[in-house]
Structure 1
Amino acid sequence: MKFEPLSGGNGCSLLSAVPGPDLAAAGYTETDYAASGSVTGLTPDGPVGEAEFTTRVLVRRPADGAAFNGTVVVEWLNVSSGNDTPAEYTYVSPELVRGGYAWVGVSAQFVGVEGGSGSVGIGGDSLATKDPERYGALHHPGDAYCHNIFAEIADALRTGDPLAGLTVEKLLAVGESQSAMALTTYVNTFAAEHKVFDGFLIHSRALAGLPLGPIGAGVDVTETFRGAPAPIHDGLSVPVFTVQTETDLLTNFRYHLARQPDSDLIRTWEVAGSAHADLHQVGPFEEYLGCPDPVNRGQQRFVLRAALRHLNTWVRDGIAPPVAPPLSLSTTLLGEETAEPFFDVDDLGNALGGVRTPCVQAPTQILSGIVPDAISRICMLFGSTKPIDSGALTARYGTRDNYLDTYRSHADAAITAGFALPDDLDELLADARPDLIPD
């Protein structure tokens, strides 16, 4: 495996709506690399021979080896927009920086390098088209090779140039949405043979894993939503931590069909009041989505940061994360058939069960991951936030001070339960909405 730093052109091309932490101020460096090698592939029809690749790898790492905690978080960059996006980094970056992790984003899939249609109605040009000076040498042989490319790059990080000066002890693979589906397939098909990763954080997957891809093209992600349920296989040797939103349980993701019990190496958290994507991910660009209602303003970012820390502790010390109840579902009969399930909700309309954050325990809004009759797939993925009648809020809290006391107690409870981190308390408290409580 060869890593060559990339420079010039228009700078690093990685689509993100929010900037994340100030890396330089935190003592981190950011370097774009071209990673070259050759791997075999696997198509739906079977194995295929070696092909050469040169893909992009972005590294954000502590400049000082003494500040490194020994764990590298390797993210399978998301291509649903037709461009690479660091979806999981957007949620967990404060924990990465304060915890001393190294983060590596890998352009594992064909579309991230060569461009193409995304799965949300947006398309992207190839990296070489966008910036031939910087990315002109990149080449991806097709998604038949994506899983092996991801693993080959991750394995090389233990001794490769991008992390020179750092002593790598653990590798964690993370990915959100389509990347989570790719990791589901990786865990079930490749992980036992490769033995590269020490743990997995799978965030917002569907019922099935991403299908094996073709040579010379990207995989058809729509097949993921039509496939058979793919729970994580027995016989694991490393932990797999899955975090799911309301959108992922129902809608066409239908993860409820792939639910499985927790075990010594499997843990699943389902987050109440959360959507597949939310305001934190889209930042100031919410209006450009064109959704009729405000997008979801839930607090899954705090849960994901806690999940990452728990996963790191799990792989290092063998201490499993807390167990969380599932979101509460009910079904009804539709003639002789059982209808699709729906969430049980409280008196205001927020879902019951699951991981509970302060915004659903001390609610001022109805936070949902389900958008009936959504006008676009983007709006379906981003859920919704709807108002609660002011009279109902007054009846529940009386005064803003009482609301803040209630909210603070639930923030403390989430931290005590392990579903949020003490480091995030100030940000959690800043998320309170006393302005919605009538004077």
Structure 2
Amino acid sequence: MKRKLYNALIDWKNDPDRKPLVLEGARQVGKTWLLKEFGKNEFKNLVYVNCHDDERMQNLFQQDLHVERIMQALQAFSGQPIITGKTLIFIDEIQEAYRGLDSLKYFCENARDQHIVVAGSLLGVTHRPGESYPVGKVDFLYLYPMTFEEFLWAKGEEKLAEMIANCDWEMMGILDTKIQELLRQYYYVGGMPEAVLDYTTHGDVNKIRKIQKAILKTYDNDFAKHTGNETERIRLVWKSIPAQLAKENKKFIYGAVKPGGRARDLESAIQWLIDAKLAFKVHRCNKPTMPLSFYEDFNAFKLFTLDIGLLGAMANAPASLMLTSNDVFKEFKGAFSENYVFEQLRTFDDLSIYYFSKENSTQEIDFLVQTDERIIPIEVKAEENLRSKSLRGFIVEDYPNEHFKGLRCSMKPYIDQGWMENIPLYSVLGYINKQINKELGE
């Protein structure tokens, strides 16, 4: 399957100033497959070792961190030669090896020409006494579940994906019914590669839910394995996310996790989910002025899941609802659509993402995003009623001197109303990408 991050890996390979690469991402988002494909396609040979359940690898870095000794051991373990400039060393599940990450500092300092990548599913939550992170000595890339664009590629709809990426509004209007059907499929299947591969190969919707439930079970096992006394609190927060997003006001409410729930009781559980890349926080912004980070409200936030398909599995949303009716776009008060839009937005590395709401008011702007040149207020509309009272009030009445131009994502075709553009939900990735490229002069 084609992944967009592949191009970033090639850029890393060809960068003369590259450092050892750490590829982060939640469990089962496709890190191992992608790096193996990269190694096979772009190098003469691949040295692959996995630290999970391999005592040799787990002990490899304990004796010392001498690069020459480590590379000799890697050659012995893999049966592959290591040739500088022609070999990719890939150490998988690096968090299982004590001081494995520490060793990257010495690869950076003493073997800079050697291409080495590591991956791990719980790098943000696995810490041992005596270990340190090689700050400034590694490059980072992050792999998310597949976007809607990547889902279209997997479905063999490359031309359609290109049309959407180019914001060809006229052709999208002509093919709208087909694209909506594909978007419904994406809402159900999501972007976990195993689910996407099985769906595009066999099309068995019941099997997809089994795959998603198995992934969720794996995450639950991680809670039990790595979190000790926090396990039950983490489970409660994790299971509460669908209901939190189903509320009209999607702000995270501690009391909705359990009666009497308070921030001090649940903060560490929420942070574990964020560090494990299973959940993502979007904070409230108090004032829509650049830079938005200056006006971040750390006490108010929304919590999104890593994948819309897993969100549906957590909510036990039936296939009949997700695949055969436009009701999917409005059920749960737009929970799916807002999580979907966030998933597409988060793929931009330098995009600041917040939401806006007034104190003692129902007015809320679903997302405020900041590019280099502008703040874009975004409203996500999953229903046919497209009155944008909050968005219009925000732009026209509350902040007229800011000259904002709003963005409404709905299932209606493109229209420019001057103060706001309406775009189809499925085009949000292409629209923001085009805006960023325009600012860069590309």
Verify same fold: TM over 0.5: no
Q: TM-score, normalised by structure 1?
A: 0.31
Q: TM-score, normalised by structure 2?
A: 0.31
- Which protein has the bigger helix share? 2
